[in-house]
Structure 1
Amino acid sequence: MKVYLAIDFGSTYTKLTAVDMENEVILATAKDITTVEDDIMIGFDKAFTKLKAEINKKIDFDKVEFIGKTACSSAAGGLKMVAIGLVPELTAEAAKKAALGAGARVIKTYSYELNHREMEEIKATPLDIILLAGGTDGGNKECIIHNAKMIVEHEIKVPVVVAGNKAAIDEIEEIFKNAGIDYYVAANVMPFINKLNVEPSREEIRKVFMNRIVEAKGMKQAEDYIKGILMPTPAAVLKAAEILSVGTDDEDGIGDLIVVDIGGATTDVHSIAKGEPTKPSVMIKGLEEPFAKRTVEGDLGMRYSALALLEAAGTRKIRNYLHDSLKQVDVKAECKHRHDNIRVVPQTEEEIRFDEAMAMAATELAMTRHCGILECVYTPMGTMFNQNGKDLTETPFVIGTGGVIIHSMNPAGILRAGNFNEQDPIHLKPLEPRFLVDKTYILSAMGLLAQDYPEVAIRVMKKYLVEAK
């Protein structure tokens, strides 16, 4: 039997998914605690032993032929980046969108010519990569050159992806070569005003991840076994979402969609849609949005960020989502308990319902931040509206993933919290989407599979994404 093995070295669990390629079904899945602090292969071997046992229930394991072994990783905190640009709302924002789309967690975005205080701040930040942008092609080049010199002067020795004004590239290459900086050059993330070009820089970030970060995280043994860790886990999820949405020449996609991924530390939202205005008298304003867009909310998590979620949402919002039987619970104490015990798994119905209320608050806030917003403008021709960001009101599908959604008694209720709200009409959230749940936790695995077998990945996702009412 021909089998494809997809591996996700997560921050908490190492998850394995074996795909029966002949029948296009999930043959088996398994997971165990990620052991990146010691030897990441310890956790992998335990998970693989479980996977082997699951496969043996269906077929003699000795008859399995692995035709592919690929992996993604968010272990040891994933991919941490700083994005540097020229103008905050233009090239700095473009750099941030490129970094997020590559699966990175953007710690901070900087603009204009950096000063020594900012450089010391960057130097003190635990970083994996710097994305250096700034200036449209043929425009300002002094700023990005200044910032390149500052990186050298402050002896910041992390890989730098340069994706700015092409007129500055020759000088920056000379600066970095002379200083021994490990750098990678990509096309400008914003070649001219309001025009994004993020894919080249995303690809360079992925190369850095493969070439340097995997080794830095102590994952070289895993890379030797599976012949290459392809990408950060969020990039794999985004790839799965994109291929499921768009399809291929031989397999239709399902159309525009949103993925809501609620984790212990962050809530990620991916939208695959152009997001153009759906109403007359609405004009696009601001920077162009990428078709495949990802946002990461580092203050909206179920465990590591439980107290930050409480601060962002407020006690009242979480309490409003609670079941009537829990209205008197101490919200602050419950959030603190989860923050202090990051591996706690809810056991009672009350604990499960409180987790769901937290997840609803996270979904509402994350969708509010991800989607576009309308701004009323008064003109001699009457009232008009400017749209910043994507109009997602007519998005037909919202897909939920992450432990709290997968194990929830009410996944549709969690996802529904991110729908359009008539009391907040300026945020362009989905009106009446269908809800799908990644019950078997396969999205990252399908993103890996799609690199080699996109049609199979689409068909498997169509089979295993379960509709929630």
Structure 2
Amino acid sequence: MKAYLLIDFGSTYTKLTAVDIENEEILAVAKDITTIESDIMTGFNNAYKKLMKNESMHTVEFVKKLACSSAAGGLKMVAVGLVPELTAEAAKRAALGAGARVIKTYSYDLTEDEINEIKVMNIDIILLAGGTDGGNKECIINNAKAIAESELNIPVVVAGNKVAVTEIRSIFSKKNIFHAVTENVMPKLNTLNVEPAREEIRKIFMNRIIEAKGLKNAESFINGILMPTPAAVLNAARVLSEGSDKEEGIGEIIIVDIGGATTDVHSIASGDPSKPGVNLRGLEEPFAKRTVEGDLGMRYSALSLWEAAGTRKIKKYIKNKELNIEEGCRYRHNNIMMVPETEEEIDFEEAMAKTAVDMAMERHCGYVEPNYSPMGMVYSQYGKDLMEVNYVIGTGGVIVHSEKPRDILEAGAFSTDNISSLKPRHPKYMIDKSYILSSMGLLCEELPDMSVRIMKKYLKLI
């Protein structure tokens, strides 16, 4: 039996998925603790032994072994641009879409303090943008000089004003700084062009970052680590939504992934106004958008979730109103391996999850502002209108193990409590019970039709 082995070297667990490519079925899944501190193959081998114990695996021949990774913090970047709301924001969106964790975004000329801050961040790539094509070029050139003179030994992706490229190449070449030049992330005012930068970031991840993360040991066994894990999930979301050459997609979707450290939201949708008389304002939104909320997590970020949400917001979702919310969140922050067992612990977990979904969706979705004009009331839309998306898909441990996963996801739906937010109104809800999204993001690189069919088969309506 011919099969693909799809591997996710996660920050906590290494997850394996075996796919029968003849019958288009998931044969088995297995996971074990990721061992990035010693040899990443130790955790992999532990998971592999579990996988091969499954009866369906006895006659398997793996014809391909593909992987993604978020081990050792995943792909960490900073984005540098000119104006905070424009090129700096465009650079950030390009980095997020490439599957990176954006540690910080800088705008205008980098100061000495900011350069020193970058030095201690332990990041993998700098995305340098700034200026529309033919516009301001002094800022991006000054920032290139600051990076070069600081002796930062970090790869730089240059995605800014094309008029400045020749000078920037010279600046980096003289200091032997590895750099890659690609198209401007904002060639015209408010116009995004993030795909070329995303692809360049991915190439550097594959060719340089893998070795630095200690993942080189895995390459003798597998065919390649193709991308960061979040990029694989975004890949899967896109092909599921749009379809492939032979398979119809399911339409516009949102994926919500609640983890221990972050809550990630992916949307595949145009985001154009769903109501007449609404005018778009601000920076153009990417069709495939990813946001990462580093203060909304179930363990590492449990305390920051409480700080961001406040006691009353979490209590809104909890049964026992007498519980000490700060204490419960602090306990989880200090005990990251905690597994909820009692009914009260599970209820507290799900209240945290609902809060995370509520806030992450509000930050991801756009909003409408009313304005008075000589012609009467007019409405301006900022961000994506996601009110009419077809599906919201949930993944992550707290959703997958919940007896009421729909209740968690519905916390992110449109509510009359905030009528300006453009959250989904009446979507259908699905759950990634088998954690297949990242593996299907890998599979669709080679077998897109099959990956769509498998996702339609295994993602369950709730």
TM over 0.5: yes
1:385-413 deviations in whole A, cap 9, x for unaligned?
11010000011100000010000111000
Residue 268 in 1 paired to residue 269 in 2? no
CA distance in 2, matches of 1:95, 1:224: 34
1:274-293 deviations in whole A, cap 9, x for unaligned?
00001111000011000000
Alignment correspondent of 1:23: 23
Pick closer, same or farther for the CA change 1:90–1:4 going to 2, 3 Å.
same
Alignment correspondent of 2:311: 315
1:81 Cα deviation (Å)? 0.6
Alignment correspondent of 1:334: 328
CA distance in 1, matches of 2:190, 2:41: 45
1:127-172 deviations in whole A, cap 9, x for unaligned?
1110000011111111101000000111111111100011111111
Residue 284 in 1 paired to residue 280 in 2? yes
Alignment correspondent of 1:206: 202
Aligned match of 1:347 in 341, 364, 374?
341
CA distance in 1, matches of 2:379, 2:219: 51
Residue 70 in 1 paired to residue 66 in 2? yes
Aligned residues of 2:8 and 2:229 also touching (Cα < 8 A): yes
Under a length normalisation based on structure 2, what TM-score does the superposition of the two structures give? 0.99
Residue 36 in 1 paired to residue 36 in 2? yes
Aligned residues of 2:28 and 2:56 also touching (Cα < 8 A): no
CA distance in 2, matches of 1:377, 1:327: 39
Alignment correspondent of 1:58: 56
Aligned match of 1:86 in 56, 79, 82?
82
1:322 Cα deviation (Å)? 0.8
1:58 Cα deviation (Å)? 2.4
CA distance in 2, matches of 1:81, 1:223: 24
CA distance in 2, matches of 1:143, 1:343: 46
Residue 153 in 1 paired to residue 149 in 2? yes
Unaligned runs of at least 5 residues, structure 1 = none
Q: Identity over the aligned pairs, expressed in percent?
A: 65
1:228 Cα deviation (Å)? 1.5
Instruction: Indicate the SS of the match to 2:62.
Output: strand
Aligned residues of 2:27 and 2:57 also touching (Cα < 8 A): no
Q: How does 1:405-444 map to 2 (within 5 A)?
A: 405-444=399-438
1:327-363 deviations in whole A, cap 9, x for unaligned?
2222111111110011111122221111110000000
CA distance in 1, matches of 2:339, 2:202: 33
1:349-390 deviations in whole A, cap 9, x for unaligned?
221111110000000000000000111111111101110100
CA distance in 2, matches of 1:182, 1:347: 50
Under a length normalisation based on structure 1, what TM-score does the superposition of the two structures give? 0.97
**4+ runs of 1 displaced by more than 4 Å?**
none
CA distance in 2, matches of 1:65, 1:166: 49
Aligned residues of 2:285 and 2:383 also touching (Cα < 8 A): yes
Instruction: Indicate the SS of the match to 1:93.
Output: helix
1:288-332 deviations in whole A, cap 9, x for unaligned?
000000000000000000000000111111111012xx2222211
CA distance in 1, matches of 2:219, 2:298: 30
Alignment correspondent of 2:233: 237
Alignment correspondent of 1:193: 189
Q: RMSD of the alignment, in Å?
A: 0.8
CA distance in 2, matches of 1:140, 1:225: 48
- Whichever residue aligns with residue 260 of structure 2, its letter is G
Alignment correspondent of 2:14: 14
Aligned residues of 2:28 and 2:57 also touching (Cα < 8 A): no
Q: How does 1:165-180 map to 2 (within 5 A)?
A: 165-180=161-176
1:90 Cα deviation (Å)? 0.8
Aligned match of 2:380 in 358, 380, 386?
386
CA distance in 1, matches of 2:342, 2:245: 48
Instruction: Indicate the SS of the match to 1:452.
Output: coil
- Whichever residue aligns with residue 149 of structure 1, its letter is K
Stretch deviating more after TM superposition (220-229 or 428-437): 220-229
CA distance in 2, matches of 1:463, 1:346: 30
CA distance in 2, matches of 1:458, 1:66: 21
Residue 294 in 1 paired to residue 287 in 2? no
1:165-219 deviations in whole A, cap 9, x for unaligned?
1111111111111101011111110111111110000001001111111111111
1:223 Cα deviation (Å)? 2.1
Residue 5 in 1 paired to residue 17 in 2? no
1:259-283 deviations in whole A, cap 9, x for unaligned?
0000000000000000000111100
Alignment correspondent of 2:220: 224
Instruction: Indicate the SS of the match to 2:454.
Output: helix
1:249 Cα deviation (Å)? 2.3
Alignment correspondent of 1:403: 397
- Whichever residue aligns with residue 193 of structure 1, its letter is L
1:227 Cα deviation (Å)? 2.3
CA distance in 1, matches of 2:134, 2:434: 49
- Whichever residue aligns with residue 384 of structure 1, its letter is V
1:5-27 deviations in whole A, cap 9, x for unaligned?
11000010000000011111100
Equivalenced residues, count: 462
Alignment correspondent of 1:103: 99
Unaligned runs of at least 5 residues, structure 2 = none
CA distance in 2, matches of 1:400, 1:224: 34
1:59 Cα deviation (Å)? 4.9
Residue 367 in 1 paired to residue 361 in 2? yes
1:406-451 deviations in whole A, cap 9, x for unaligned?
0011100000000001120111000011110000011000000000
Instruction: Indicate the SS of the match to 2:456.
Output: helix
1:224 Cα deviation (Å)? 2.5
- Whichever residue aligns with residue 381 of structure 2, its letter is Q
CA distance in 1, matches of 2:119, 2:149: 11
Aligned residues of 2:233 and 2:438 also touching (Cα < 8 A): yes
